[in-house]
Amino acid sequence: MNLRMKKNDELDVNLTPLIDVVFLLLIFFMVSTTFEKEALMHVDLPESVTAPIESIDQPLSITINAEGQYSVNDKDLASTELSVLSTAIAAVAGEQKDLPVLIRADARTPYQAVITAMDVVSRQGLSKVSLATMAAK
């Protein structure tokens, strides 16, 4: 009678179920993760190195401060909503479609606020839009 235990040469570990579980977890986390998009992009507006633009008779002036609040022809708007900005621009521009528009934005203004102002101006049918810059030092 042989009481010795037989030696197994090698133990085989099946890794297939482990790999399956890892891939399933990877797919689950990739699908369930939400990637947050950058809502606001901050930019410093460039300095102008060209000659200043000739004076234009009473352009429509839209000023945007660092917090993204609008004022139209130096009149502060109560809200930053699109409808309020659109109404204020329509009141100033009236039926004039060739009225020049000057957008003056603080260097720390969120760029999305400038894009919004340009979009509202475009929807009003105004096409002569310019951005104010500082003269180079």
What is the domain partition of the chain in residue ranges?
60-131
Q: pLDDT value at position 23? A: 96
Q: pLDDT value at position 28? A: 93
Q: 101-105 and 70-72 as β-strands: parallel, antiparallel, unpaired?
A: unpaired
Assigned token pair, 77:
């708007």
What value does the mean pLDDT take over residues 33-42? 59
What value does the mean pLDDT take over residues 9-17? 82
Residue among 86, 81, 84 nearest 125 (CA):
86
How many CB atoms lie under 10 A from the CB of residue 116? 18
pLDDT higher at 64 or 17 = 17
Please report which confidence band the pLDDT of residue 126 belongs to, taking 50, 70 and 90 as the band edges. Answer: confident
Q: Please state, rounded to an integer, the average pLDDT across all residues of the chain.
A: 77
How far is it, in rounded angstroms, from Cα 62 to Cα 66? 13
Range from 50-59, 68-77, 81-90 carrying the lowest mean pLDDT: 50-59
Please report which confidence band the pLDDT of residue 16 belongs to, taking 50, 70 and 90 as the band edges. Answer: very high
What value does the mean pLDDT take over residues 77-83? 78
Q: Which CATH class is domain 60-131?
A: alpha beta
Portion of the chain with pLDDT greater than 90, in percent: 10
pLDDT for residue 54 is more than 70:
no
What value does the mean pLDDT take over residues 122-136? 77
Q: What is the pLDDT of residues 92-108, one digit of tens each?
A: 887 777 788 888 888 78
Cβ neighbors of 51 (< 8 A, separation 6 or more) are: none
